[in-house]
Structure 1
């Protein structure tokens, strides 16, 4: 939801996967093009697994989960394409208590950046914005992220606060469903090329905003994946 210099809102229906990072689902061979999870799609893209990539990022921040469970919310790769504006990792200690949350952000220019968060009891954490996401916002301000552990219902929000500007808010709402083969086939039929549709929608609405006169902010020089994460 954008509130300035004019009000602009958009909605997009899709589906996400909520998975145990150590037990990623493997579909029957004929259905695998509908959902693949690849380490190359997260963090530096150079680790042997997504779990190894996450542990490497956490180690750089001085965090060791000691094998604790990690739950990931993300798009899977569908028909060879994937785009995750936001991937969330809920990280636990070995005893099952919450340790931290990692929010991994991707932009449409191929960049990635991860934020280490320590949410309070309400699931809310604040962090400085360090990554160019939208061409209509510079790299400044802070994020107020509400990322409570998902239950039967999912309600996440990311609010960008900038000096002298109204806030920009993005939300994700959803209902948890068991990932059965019939359910996946129904979703694939209802949302074909689901991840491609997400990136296409972002670009489409960006063009509309540009045509309405919203100024574009210069994009910083691209950094390497290692420096971005």
Structure 2
């Protein structure tokens, strides 16, 4: 089995114009899309595209339920890069817990035919409360740094934080998903780093017992993700951060 559970920390730090930081313990599921049906057999406890205590719904992701998720990933990578995804696709994400799911970002690791080397990564970002999505497609040929990470630079395309404008550049840095996994995303404006987010996780076996134990350690994780986003927004507002409305929704306050 290639699927796993990853637990660890998510850390955010803003450097300017207002300093702010936070750190939360989290866990995420790492799902090999070819294993999804055998991984979550139909039961009261979990299921695929059906209500359960823990569930996976394809409509929560790229495909929006219109086609199978692997096909949606292949289509997007082909459209953006001209490359065919020939190997496994493994998704780092929050599943649905007690019927609720929200993912600020999910990561699709697209492997070569042998399933050994990551060739492409998709970072699928969703904002709140608008639930708009944008996918950043990162090719490993764009550069591996000296720490054997996967690095890319892209322009910001989606309004995420109401305290940041759109004129940002992102620097993505990924480790390979092994016993430890890390993702670093940095925001730059006029070549100055103004924010960084760092995800640091360690790998656990994916099985029913481990998942129950982990959910018990992080109850209502998806509800807590959304509440943490809003709580940190309140704290930034109280610090005097400038509010920028969603440019796609000029009527939104």
State the alpha-carbon separation in 2 of the partners of residues 107 and 23 from structure 1. Answer: 28
- What is the aligned partner in structure 2 of residue 8 from structure 1? 20
Comparing 19-28 and 209-218, the one that deviates more: 19-28
1:102–1:16 CA distance, 2 compared to 1 (3 A): same
Match among 94, 107, 117 for residue 88 of structure 1:
107
* Structure 2: gaps spanning 5 or more residues: 1-12, 47-51
Aligned-pair RMSD on alpha carbons? 1.8
- What is the aligned partner in structure 1 of residue 84 from structure 2? 65
How many correspondences in the alignment? 222
Question: Where in structure 2 are the equivalents of 1:1-229 lying within 5 Å?
Answer: 1-24=13-36, 25-27=39-41, 29-32=43-46, 33-43=52-62, 45-96=64-115, 97-108=117-128, 109-119=130-140, 120-121=143-144, 122-163=149-190, 165-221=192-248
- What is the aligned partner in structure 2 of residue 225 from structure 1? none
1:65–1:22 CA distance, 2 compared to 1 (3 A): farther
Comparing 119-128 and 58-67, the one that deviates more: 58-67
Secondary structure in structure 2 of the residue aligned to 1:184: helix
* Structure 1: gaps spanning 5 or more residues: 223-229
Secondary structure in structure 1 of the residue aligned to 2:195: strand
Q: Give how far 1:16 is off.
A: 0.3
TM-score normalised according to structure 1 size:
0.89
Q: Which runs of structure 1 show a deviation greater than 3 angstroms over 4 or more consecutive aligned residues?
A: 95-98
State the alpha-carbon separation in 2 of the partners of residues 22 and 145 from structure 1. Answer: 26
Comparing 125-134 and 32-41, the one that deviates more: 32-41
Q: Give how far 1:30 is off.
A: 2.5
Q: Give how far 1:67 is off.
A: 3.5
TM-score normalised according to structure 2 size:
0.81
Secondary structure in structure 2 of the residue aligned to 1:16: strand
